[in-house]
Amino acid sequence: METKEKNLAKKDVIIACDFNCSEEMLAFLDLFQGEKPFVKIGMELFYAAGPQIVHAVKQRGHRIFLDLKLHDIPNTVKKAMAVLSRLEVDLCNLHAGGCIPMMEAALEGLTRPDGSRPLLIAVTQLTSTDEATMRRDLLIERPLEEVVLHYARNARAAGLDGVVCSPLEAASVHAACGSGFLTVTPGVRFADGEAGDQKRVTTPARAAELGSDFIVVGRPITQAADPVAAYRRTCAEFFGA
Ligand code: C5P
């Protein structure tokens, strides 16, 4: 079913707002006078500030990616997604490792009585998990890329809208799941910036070339001396201005 939320611009920059209280989050948003960036609220801020912060940010007119990465039995995830759907977020996510029945239940829970729903994407394998760790801790013997693509196909089969992945995986995910299947990609840095703890990074322009639909950029913007200028630079590089 076509949903309102599917009318979101297909390509955009999402700012990862990894703050630990509402005050910091709202002070950061106050810096933006002329534009309303798409923002990501993750576990840290949501657990610290609760659903009220989602309402407050929404009221200011921002689109929201609520990054809570649900992973539980299908019934629990379905009910939790119904609650998140009422928060009117634009995009939310879960772990593809919860398997197809969990992802299908999540979509059911997320769908409102009028048929609309936020977009739903899946985390495949966390980028903090490498092939050796996957083999050692999860007993998964297949190559990491094959596992990522298999989980992306599962997400597609369950009816989800896309995956969180590395920009380096965006082209293969699109080849496997279709160009309309969203790739939402963290791990983005300016060419002259610090990588920090991210291992495999690409620039906004390179992420666009590789086919990323949405880039998720945190510290290069939130920790910049001038966050608004850093946001504008990210957009200019990503959109090729
Ligand atoms: O500050 P930075 O640009 O590294 O922020 C990236 C954001 O994307 C963080 O909120 C991080 O939790 C999130 N993320 C990630 N890698 C994943 C999934 C989410 O970096 N595989």
Read off the amino acid at residue 220: P
DSSP string, 18-75: --SSHHHHHHHHHT-SS---EEEEEHHHHHHH-HHHHHHHHHTT--EEEEEEE-S-HH
CA distance 150 to 36: 35
List the one residue out of 43, 44, 106 whose CA is nearest residue 72: 106
Q: Which residue has a Cα nearest atom 2 of ligand 1?
A: 218
Task: Determine how β-strand 182-185 pairs with β-strand 214-217.
Answer: parallel
Average pLDDT over residues 135-147: 95
* 205 Cα–ligand 1 center, Å: 18
* 17 Cα–ligand 1 center, Å: 10
User: 27 in a domain, yes or no?
Assistant: yes
User: 218 in a domain, yes or no?
Assistant: yes
Asked if 71 contacts 98 with a C-beta cutoff of 8 angstroms, the reply is yes
Q: What is the percent of the chain with per-residue pLDDT over 70, rounded to a whole number?
A: 96
Q: What is the pLDDT of residues 206-225, one digit of tens each?
A: 999 999 999 999 999 999 99
Q: Which residue has a Cα nearest atom 8 of ligand 1?
A: 186
Asked if 189 contacts 206 with a C-beta cutoff of 8 angstroms, the reply is no
Average pLDDT over residues 192-215: 89
List the one residue out of 21, 37, 3, 57 whose CA is nearest residue 227: 37
Q: Where are the alpha helices (DSSP H) in the chain?
A: 22-30, 43-49, 51-59, 74-86, 99-110, 131-138, 144-158, 170-177, 204-210, 219-222, 227-239
The β-bridge partners of 217 are 15
Q: Which residue has a Cα nearest atom 3 of ligand 1?
A: 218
- Per-residue model confidence (pLDDT) at position 9: 59
CA distance 187 to 232: 18
User: 2 in a domain, yes or no?
Assistant: no
188 CA closest ligand 1 atom index: 3
Residue to mutate (ligand 1; options 127, 201, 216; most atoms within 8 A of CB) = 216
User: 93 in a domain, yes or no?
Assistant: yes
What CATH number corresponds to the domain at position 30?
3.20.20.70
For 209, the 3-state DSSP assignment is: helix
User: 210 in a domain, yes or no?
Assistant: yes
Q: Is the pLDDT of residue 228 over 60?
A: yes
The mean of the pLDDT values for the chain is 93
**Where in the sequence numbering do the catalytic residues fall?**
69
- Per-residue model confidence (pLDDT) at position 198: 72
- Per-residue model confidence (pLDDT) at position 10: 80
* 172 Cα–ligand 1 center, Å: 20
Confidence of residue 241 (pLDDT cuts 50, 70, 90): low
Tokens of 213: 């639909």
Give me the number of domains the chain comprises: 1
* 216 Cα–ligand 1 center, Å: 7
Tokens of 187: 């791990």
User: 1 in a domain, yes or no?
Assistant: no
Read off the amino acid at residue 34: G
* 83 Cα–ligand 1 center, Å: 24
User: 108 in a domain, yes or no?
Assistant: yes
List the domain range (segments joined by +) for residue 133: 8-239
42 CA closest ligand 1 atom index: 10
Average pLDDT over residues 44-71: 97
- Asked if residue 204 has its Cβ within 6 Å of ligand 1, the reply is no
- Asked if residue 217 has its Cβ within 6 Å of ligand 1, the reply is yes
16 CA closest ligand 1 atom index: 10
Q: What is the DSSP letter of 164?
A: E
223 CA closest ligand 1 atom index: 1
- Asked if residue 127 has its Cβ within 6 Å of ligand 1, the reply is yes
User: 103 in a domain, yes or no?
Assistant: yes
Q: What is the pLDDT of residues 81-118, one digit of tens each?
A: 999 999 999 999 999 999 999 999 999 999 999 999 99
Is residue 229 classed exposed, middle or buried when 0-12, 13-18 and 19+ CB atoms within 10 A define those classes? Answer: exposed
